A and B are shown apart, each in its own frame.
Chain A
Amino acid sequence: MRTWIFNNKPVIVSTGTVGGPFEAKGKIAEDFDFLHEDLWLKEDTYEKAHKVMLEEAALRATEKAGITKEHVQFFLGGDLINQITPTSFSAKTIGAAYLGLFGACSTSKEGLALAAFLVNHGGADCVLTGSSSHNAAVEKQFRYPTEYGAQKPPTSQWTVTGAGVSLLMNKGEGPRVTSATIGKVVDMGLTDPFNMGGAMAPAAVDTIETHLKERDIDPSYYDLIVTGDLGHIGRECALDLFTKHHTEVTAEQFQDCGLMIYREGQPVLAGASGAGCSAVVVYGHLLNRMKKGEFKRMLVVATGALLSPLTYQQGETIPCIAHAVSIEYGGGKE
């Protein structure tokens, strides 16, 4: 069993989301708490801007919950930069006990699953969790210099500039975390770092199918099954894999955060990606829709490609992972 059922149903009391200029032009701009006009955020390096975004999101979440940052017992988070420095540096500002996580773009839900586990089992009353990514800082880390003229293939994805955090408590009002399934590393031997969606799809399918089996529920239990950043190609692969395995997930119910954040016409090719992608879409846009009553139960499956530029250059394949967390509001059993 790798599914945890949270009988005490930890509550997401508040969230904080911050985005950059490209996100401000996107489809879900109104769901962000803050949007920045400038990619630098008035800092002198992109890495500092990255850190500041996470700090702002964390501060906003505590403000909305009506608490000060001293009330936060634990902070769980991560990002894509070497040694997850933006998260660790912002943990210094936040001041809570800190556990750094790395699950590439799946970090947001790895954090939420662990935070819910802590709260559910009485390990803490108030846990902050989140992840972030900054387009320019991450591109610098994984790809070419930002201004370098390399033609990206149609399978490549756009790294989101954004930070999303949520505050979990053992009591309060808000959407509740009901269960989580921790992913296994799945490696299908793909090597193209410009096609992450195709590489990550089997990991997402594996986690979703395990989740449904271990909870003994039908896919129709969820109004929405949403993946982190599969993009067009990954989503299509995952849907066809479901059909092949006779798992009845419908195309309407199966959505992707990487396809929600930007508008048609923004030059993102196969969709969005990045550790901040699923964090800002789920904690901003999707929870807002949930609170409006558009849907009651959703399964969020954040996917991550666990590669580094070094392993790619050494010719290694891309191992992938996906973590699933179910969130319910309104219709959920009390």
Chain B
Amino acid sequence: MSDNKKKNLTPVQQEYQQFQSDREVKRPILKNCIKAFLIGGLICLVGQCIQTFFIYNFNFTEQTAGDPTIAVMIFLTMLLTGFGVYDRLAQFAGAGSAVPVTGFGNAVISACIEHRTEGMILGVGGNMFKLAGSVIMSGVFAAFVIALIKTILVEWGGL
């Protein structure tokens, strides 16, 4: 919480927050990082195997093999999400299962499943990007800013 917000609290509230914070069980950050590293790495290893499979068995290059690999990874995520496995994996792995593309797939698919009862258009259609929308928005905006910087440097910076 920002310090700015804390200023509006009364002394009694601040005292209790300190009191409560002393008793709160904190997230085990180091342990979570190690678990995220292992599971995240494992997911990437699976992805790498699939990519190599596409390169060796089909007519893909290292550049073009990315697309079918992502499609397969998201398909696997869809199955795992539907069978109720992915959220359990995520409770263990944390960022390890959220950061790879499978985490993005899970965000879309879980929202679709959740809102199926409200119908295909308003439910699934309207809520599909409820969680993933902000990721897409951030990605597009970040790409725009980077492109702008690159253009400025190349055009006027003489790089």
Instruction: Report B1-41 CB contacts with A as 1/0, cut-off 8 Å.
Output: 10001000110111011011001111110001000000000
Instruction: Kindly identify, within residues 122 to 161 of chain A, every residue whose CB is under 8 Å from any CB belonging to chain B.
Output: 140, 144-155
Instruction: Kindly identify, within residues 92 to 107 of chain B, every residue whose CB is under 8 Å from any CB belonging to chain A.
Output: 93-95, 97-98, 103, 106-107
CB-CB under 8 A from A188, the residues of chain B are: 12-13, 16-17, 20
CB-CB under 8 A from A265, the residues of chain B are: none
Q: Is B111 an interface residue (CB 8 A)?
A: yes
Q: Is B73 an interface residue (CB 8 A)?
A: no
A233/B25 in contact, CB under 8 A: yes
Interface segment, one of A75-83, A162-170, A195-203, A289-297: A195-203
Instruction: Kindly identify, within residues 65 to 99 of chain B, every residue whose CB is under 8 Å from any CB belonging to chain A.
Output: 81-82, 84, 86-87, 89-91, 93-95, 97-98
B16 to chain A, nearest CB (A): 4
A27 to chain B, nearest CB (A): 21
B90/A236 in contact, CB under 8 A: no
Q: A147-B109, A188-B16 are in contact. Are A267 and B5 (CB under 8 A)?
A: no
State the A residues within 8 Å of B (CB): 44-47, 140, 144-155, 187-191, 195, 198-199, 201-202, 232-233, 236-237, 240-241, 267, 270, 315
| Separation of A315 and B6 alpha carbons in the complex (Å) | 12
Q: A147-B110, A149-B98 are in contact. Are A189 and B9 (CB under 8 A)?
A: yes
A322 to chain B, nearest CB (A): 15
B106/A147 in contact, CB under 8 A: yes
B16/A151 in contact, CB under 8 A: no
B27/A154 in contact, CB under 8 A: yes
Chain B residue with the shortest CB-CB distance to A46: B117
Task: Tell me whether chain B's interface is mostly helix, strand or loop, or mixed.
Answer: helix
B24/A198 in contact, CB under 8 A: yes
B9/A145 in contact, CB under 8 A: no
Q: A188-B20, A191-B1 are in contact. Are A151 and B90 (CB under 8 A)?
A: yes
Chain B residue with the shortest CB-CB distance to A267: B91
Total interface residues on B, CB under 8 Å, equals: 43
10 contacts between A and B (CB under 8 A): A46-B117, A148-B114, A148-B131, A149-B98, A152-B91, A188-B13, A189-B9, A195-B24, A233-B23, A241-B19
Q: A148-B110, A315-B5 are in contact. Are A237 and B19 (CB under 8 A)?
A: yes
Shortest 10 CB-CB distances between A and B: which pairs?
Answer: A149-B90, A145-B114, A189-B13, A147-B110, A148-B110, A151-B94, A145-B110, A154-B25, A45-B117, A188-B16
Partner of B25, one of A140, A145, A270: A270
State the B residues within 8 Å of A (CB): 1, 5, 9-10, 12-14, 16-17, 19-20, 23-28, 32, 81-82, 84, 86-87, 89-91, 93-95, 97-98, 103, 106-107, 109-111, 113-115, 117, 130-131
Partner of A155, one of B24, B81, B114: B24
A151/B32 in contact, CB under 8 A: yes
Chain A residue with the shortest CB-CB distance to B115: A145
CB-CB under 8 A from B84, the residues of chain A are: 147
Partner of B117, one of A44, A147, A201: A44
| Separation of A188 and B91 alpha carbons in the complex (Å) | 29
CB-CB under 8 A from A232, the residues of chain B are: 25
B98/A150 in contact, CB under 8 A: yes
CB-CB under 8 A from A315, the residues of chain B are: 5
CB-CB under 8 A from B23, the residues of chain A are: 198, 233, 236-237, 240
CB-CB under 8 A from A47, the residues of chain B are: 117
| Separation of A236 and B19 alpha carbons in the complex (Å) | 11
Chain B residue with the shortest CB-CB distance to A239: B23
CB-CB under 8 A from A44, the residues of chain B are: 117
A202/B16 in contact, CB under 8 A: yes
A147/B81 in contact, CB under 8 A: yes
Q: A155-B24, A233-B23, A237-B23 are in contact. Are A148 and B17 (CB under 8 A)?
A: no
A225 to chain B, nearest CB (A): 19
Q: Could you list 16 further interchain pairs (A-B, Cβ under 8 angstroms) beyond the known A147-B106, A236-B23, A315-B5?
A: A146-B114, A147-B86, A147-B114, A148-B114, A149-B81, A149-B86, A149-B91, A149-B93, A149-B106, A151-B93, A151-B94, A155-B25, A188-B16, A198-B20, A198-B23, A198-B24
